[in-house]
Chain A
Amino acid sequence: MRAARYLLAALALLATAPIAEAGDGKRLFDSRCGICHAPAGIGTMTLGRRMASKDALLGERRDVPRELVLAVVRRGIGGMPWFTRTELPDEQLAAIADYLARGADQP
């Protein structure tokens, strides 16, 4: 019984972990991606040509596919250059991708 309680506690901790990461992801997104993806940035302006302005502001989105973020950041897309693993290490990129996809699995 005690073991079960510990297990539940551990699961609860795991469940909260993504929230902590999402906070980290937001900070990282703002600091590393905000140069272009803030409201007046060229990334936002470029995306704004292809989609509604509310969707062009990536930081407000909750449904950007995680795998898409990983691929675009490492391979570039359109006018966006790629990022090396030195400039944006894998774990930071993962946190940013989790943040942008934070609502993707919710109904």
Chain B
Amino acid sequence: MNPRPLPPGLTQADMDRALLAFAGVVGRDHVLDDELDRNTYGDVYQPSNETSHRPAAAVAPASVEEVQAILRLANGHRVPLWPESRGKNLGYGGAAPVMNGTVVLDLSRMNRIFEVNAERGHCLLEPGVGFFQLWQHLQDNRIPLWITCPANAWGSVIGNALERGIGYTPYGENTAQLCGLEVALANGELVRTGMGAMTNSRTWALAKYGFGPAWDQMFAQSNFGVVTKANLWLMPEPEATLSLDFNLPEKEDIVWALDLLAALRLRRAIDSSITVGNYMRVVTMTSQRKDWYDGPGPLPEDVVQKIKDKLGIGWWSFTINLFGYEDVIRAQAKVIRQAFAAQLKNDIRERSWRRGEPLDKSALLQPTVRFLHVINWWGGRGGHMGFSPLLPIDGRAAYAQFEATRKRYDEAGLDHYGGFTMGERYLTNVNQIIYDRDDPDMTRRAHRLFTMLIADADRAGYSEYRTHLSYMDRVAATFDFNGHALRRLNETIKDALDPHGILAPGKAGIWPRAYREQRR
């Protein structure tokens, strides 16, 4: 049996005492401390060596009071905690911590839906509530509100919003739908943000900013507190939806298409996230590489052509989804069609849905995990990571970044899965790196590729919006204006709020004083 990993400065006896104290709060059954438990709280897609990101144990509270009690004990025992909502941050590290020996604070038992307000379009959730659970709740209670799911809906609704995940409706920037949080600070004190800071507030879920500084985003992608409740805005069920499916035959077509989409998005003729993805996005959903090609290196051009021909897709494909009153979305669709008429040579496929028809026909992405099929691409125990720098919505700039990225994939002998998800004024350039963890050489190549892409993007003036645990320090280092002034600000706040550094050391490259030498 492997020894339990420990954080710097602690002995096994120290950890034993801390876990015993935690068990006094949550019960012995909810302190998970054997070898198998440690594995299940590790990163299921681990891209770097298997001895990093290893938790010491996990503790799973069921209430805010238990979270507060654990935080106080963790301070006393100097035990670092890694809060996670449901542990399904797949591709970014799963449930695992940055620093070895951190104890996972598993919030998945806190899965209460306190309120759903159908009239005003909001809900109040605990972090353990998943997309499937919330959707089932809305369906079972016939509440006419829709949720905005990410590609992997196995995870937490609040966790996804706090990690700035993306969905595919007009509410697709999930973090922008947060409206007031309840947060346990490192010392155990409970704070409510926004209007919720009033004891008898009636507008907590309605007005985002409150009075004075607004703190919601301070707790997104940070290690400044444990979010124990959050309000989230939900979209009213629309009268109708309309989907327009596009195929762009050649890879150069994104230059004009992105510029055109940018203009439509900026004017809100398009008002939801669109993902323009290459053929890999389609082919990985239903097949494996060996179905098409068994050789080494990236897929040859003739195989790519065969894939496109057989699946009837272009180099790029995307869908514009419109949600709302039928008359309005029909008018939007007309504007979009007119804009594309001059340059698009092939047909636009149209699908429509009206309220009352089966939801499967609508533009709504209902909770699914089918996108996880990508990890079966190579066979073996698959893994994936997303390298996702933010770019301007500029066709030439995006094409240049795409070509530079694809060249790096070619050098690494990996197939380039690339796409551009469009916000209102920026592109999230999602590049999936898919690998077979049973092939150590491939896994090493995937890891090297990721580090090179960070450095290349940095030189081009770009960086990621979110990253895997193994790259948090590298990505944070690219935010280097004025000699890393942002890092100093983050760490000043960190040390003030969390002087013993018990909350998520290393999260987003923010290291507390106690562990600062662990930065890589």
Contact = CB atoms under 8 A, between A and B. Distances in A.
Interface of A: 35-36, 41-42, 45-46, 49, 74-79, 81-87
A35 B154 contact: yes
Contacts of B380: 78
A42 B372 contact: yes
Given A79-B373, A79-B381, A74 B36 contact: yes
Which 8 pairs, one residue from A and one from B, show the smallest C-beta to C-beta distance?
A84-B40, A81-B44, A86-B60, A79-B375, A79-B376, A42-B373, A82-B40, A79-B382
Q: Which of A41, A81, A82 has the most CB of B within 10 A?
A: A81
Interface in B30-65: 30, 32, 36-37, 39-41, 44, 58, 60
A81 B45 CA distance: 9
Q: Which of A83, A84, A85 has the most CB of B within 10 A?
A: A84
Nearest to B290: A49
Given A46-B373, A84-B32, 19 more contacts: A42-B372, A74-B40, A75-B36, A75-B39, A76-B44, A78-B382, A79-B373, A79-B375, A79-B376, A79-B381, A82-B39, A83-B40, A84-B41, A85-B40, A86-B32, A86-B108, A87-B86, A87-B87, A87-B108
B407 to A, nearest CB: 28
A interface majority secondary structure? loop
A85 B30 CA distance: 9
B90 A81 contact: yes
B370 interface: yes
A49 B375 CA distance: 15
A87 B109 CA distance: 8
Contacts of A46: 373, 376
Contact of B44 (A41, A82, A87): A82
Contacts of B30: 86
A42 B369 contact: yes
A84 B87 contact: yes
B248 interface: no
B385 to A, nearest CB: 15
A79 B369 CA distance: 12
Contacts of A87: 86-87, 108
A43 to B, nearest CB: 9
Contact of A35 (B44, B95, B132, B376): B132
B381 A84 contact: no
Contacts, number: 61
Contacts of B109: 86
A82 B41 CA distance: 9
B288 interface: yes
A31 to B, nearest CB: 9
B106 interface: yes
Q: Which of A41, A75, A79, A83 has the most CB of B within 10 A?
A: A79
Q: Which of A35, A76, A86 has the most CB of B within 10 A?
A: A86
Interface residues on B, range: 20 to 34
Nearest to B154: A35
Contacts of B5: none
Contacts of A45: 286, 373
A85 B288 contact: no
Nearest to B371: A42
Contacts of A77: 381
A78 B36 contact: no
B37 A84 contact: yes
Contacts of A85: 32, 37, 40
30 contacts: A35-B132, A35-B369, A41-B370, A42-B369, A42-B370, A42-B372, A45-B286, A74-B36, A77-B381, A78-B380, A78-B381, A79-B375, A79-B376, A81-B90, A82-B39, A82-B40, A82-B44, A83-B40, A84-B32, A84-B40, A84-B41, A85-B32, A85-B37, A86-B32, A86-B58, A86-B60, A86-B106, A86-B108, A86-B109, A87-B87
A58 B373 CA distance: 18
Interface in B335-381: 369-370, 372-373, 375-376, 380-381
B94 interface: yes
Given A35-B132, A42-B369, A78 B40 contact: no
Contacts of B36: 74-75
Contacts of A75: 36, 39
Contact of A84 (B90, B106, B154): B106
Contacts of B44: 76, 81-82
B234 to A, nearest CB: 22
A90 to B, nearest CB: 9
A105 B169 CA distance: 50
A5 B10 CA distance: 60
A101 B24 CA distance: 37
Contacts of B288: 49
A91 B60 CA distance: 17
A76 B381 contact: yes
A78 B376 contact: yes
B86 to A, nearest CB: 8
Contacts of B32: 84-86
Given A75-B39, A78-B381, A84 B372 contact: no
Interface in B200-250: none
B374 to A, nearest CB: 9
